[in-house]
Amino acid sequence: MTAERSPVKRSRARTPAELVGAVPEPEFEFTFDGRTIPALPGQSIAAALWAASVLAWRTTRVNGRPRGAFCGIGSCFDCLATVNGRPNQRACLLPAGPGDTVTTQEGDGHAEHLG
C-alpha cells in the first residue's frame, strides 16, 4: 500500500487529463446532429459530448424536454441517443467510434428508426 499516491496530497490539476497524466492516443471525430465532436479513444459518446459542453442529446416522449447523461453507469436510460441510425443506445456506455453519426433522439426513437 506504500506505493499508492494519495490524491489529496497532489496539487490541484486544471483538467481531469492532467490529474491522471493522460497521454491519449490520437483523437478522432464523430458528428452530433451534424456538428463535429472530437473524441479520445475509449471515451464514451456521453463523455465526448460532455467534453464538448453538450449536456443534452435526447428529448422526452411526453413533454419533449432535453435530457443527457444522469446516472453515468447505465442504470437510468436518460442518455439514450440514436447512433448510426440505431435508436435507444446508452451513450454513457457506448464508446464513441470514428465517423459515428449521433443524433438527438426524439421521443422513443422509433420515428427515426422507421424513417
Q: Which position's Cβ is nearest ligand FES? A: 92
C-alpha span between 80 and 87 (Å, rounded) = 7
* Contact call for residue 3 and other proteins (CB under 8 A): yes
74 binds ligand FES (CB under 6 A): yes
What is the edge-to-edge ordering of all strands in the sheet holding 105-106?
66-67, 58-59, 105-106
Member of 31, 38, 85, 110 binding other proteins (CB under 8 A):
85
Q: With binding defined as CB under 6 A, does residue 71 bind ligand FES?
A: yes
Cα distances (angstroms) measured from residue 40 to each of 37, 85, 100: 10, 22, 13
Q: Looking only at residues 2 through 41 of this chain, which bind ligand FES when binding is defined by CB under 6 A?
A: none
Taking the complex as a whole, how short is the minimal distance between the CB of residue 21 and ligand FES, in angstroms?
27
Give the pairing of strands 80-83 and 101-103.
antiparallel
- Residue 109 makes CB contacts below 8 A (sequence gap 6+) with 80, 82, 87, 88
Chain contacts with other proteins (rule: CB under 8 A)? 1-8, 10, 12-25, 40-44, 46-48, 50-51, 55-56, 60-63, 65-78, 80, 83-86, 89, 92-95, 97-98, 100
